Amino acid sequence: MWFDFVQACIIICSRVISYDRLEVADCYLQTFLSKFVGLYGPLHCTPNMHLHLHLKDCMLDYGPVYAFWCFSFERINGMLGKYHNNNRNIEVQVMRHFQQGQQLQMPLQNTYAAEFINILSTKDVGSLSLHDTTDAMYIKQYSCMSSATLLLPDVDMVKALPPFQNVVLTDSDRQTLLSMYKNVYPDSSVSQVGQLAKVCSRVRSLGLTLCVSSRTERSACVSAKWCRYDSVFEEPVLDPTAEVRPGIVKQFLVISVKTQASIIQHVLAKMMWLDPHPD
């Protein structure tokens, strides 16, 4: 009985498998399950044993097991199991591990960047090195990019999601926004900010959904480049080249911005920036 199971595993786990060999493996699994039922009875069969009968169809649809989703799923389960935790709020502790790794991978902006880049950089080995990670690298670079390197027409990569609520901007708000646009996008020739705006609670950018702060939404916490503080007791100074700092998204606004070329719908986030540590 177990000989049939082992023979099926040897065939299925091969890096290259033909249709004929897949049929042989399926026959081995059917034989194993039939012998198991005859020896132990149907009450001892597990759901995984039932799934053995569907492996052939899954491999015909999705390819060999090296490209099958269950192996990557089990791989991440093994990685999560290695994280030390106190069995309370495990999801929060796992996200802290991810955030620490993300912060280590952010571009260093100090005089020791050249020394630390070789220490902190990691390289994939084995089969992982064969996969294309261009999209992931683009998202990482874009998330750490200074606003000074972006153009106003690039806002198409950020899409506001419904529902929307119409609001009217005051003259003071419009003047503040116009000053902000001229500082952040000096080459865009922004001449006017519309009086009407739309408020929403979610936006989507590069496949990621960001939400405003609430009890259920944890995607409101972000790291971004925006303001710098000359003093803890002073108002923040607009500086797109400032260091990355954490903040909480409180509101999204869709603003109509008029340039010499056209009128652009621009998405802004109203932020609550976390104060820097006094030390």
Q: Which domain holds residue 22?
A: 2-76
- Confidence category of residue 25, pLDDT binned at 50, 70, 90: very high
Residue 226 has pLDDT above 50, yes or no: yes
Per-residue confidence (pLDDT) for residue 146, from 0 to 100: 46
Do residues 163 and 245 both lie within one domain? Answer: yes
For 223, other C-beta atoms within 10 Å of its C-beta total: 16
Query: Cβ contacts of residue 140 below 8 Å, gap of 6+?
Result: 105
Are the beta carbons of 194 and 264 closer than 8 angstroms? no
Using one digit for the tens of pLDDT, what is the confidence trace for 42-75? 888 888 888 888 888 888 887 887 666 555 666 6
Q: Determine contact, residues 267/210, Cβ cutoff 8 Å.
A: no
**Gap between the Cα atoms of 265 and 196, Å rounded:** 11
How far apart are the C-alpha atoms of 200 and 164, rounded to whole Å? Answer: 5
Residue (of 270, 239, 271) closest to 254 by Cα position: 270
Give the model's confidence band at 148: pLDDT under 50 very low, under 70 low, under 90 confident, else very high: very low
pTM value is: 0.44
Which parts of the chain fold into alpha helices (H)?
2-12, 19-40, 47-52, 55-62, 69-81, 90-105, 113-120, 134-143, 171-184
Question: How many C-beta neighbours within 10 Å does residue 219 have?
Answer: 13
In angstroms, the CA 155 to CA 266 distance is 6
CA–CA gap between residue 80 and residue 90 (Å, rounded): 10
In a domain, 120, yes or no: no
Is 88 part of a structural domain of the chain?
no
Report which of 265, 270, 272 is spatially closest to residue 159, judged by C-alpha positions. Answer: 265
Ranked by mean pLDDT, which of 11-20, 110-119, 154-163, 191-200 comes out on top? 191-200
Residue with tokens 């802004």: 268
pLDDT score at 80: 74
Mean pLDDT of 169-178: 89
**Residue 247 contacts residue 274 (beta carbons within 8 Å):** yes
| Domain end among 24, 52, 76 | 76
**Is 60 exceeded by the pLDDT of residue 117?**
no
- Among 241, 227, 221, 239, which Cα is nearest to 102's? 221
Q: How many structural domains are present in the chain? A: 2
Q: Is residue 90 part of a domain?
A: no
CA atoms within 13 A on the CB side of 176: 8
More confident residue, 182 or 4: 4
Is 94 within the bounds of a domain? no
The verdict on residue 114 lying in a domain is: no
Domain end marker among 12, 46, 76: 76
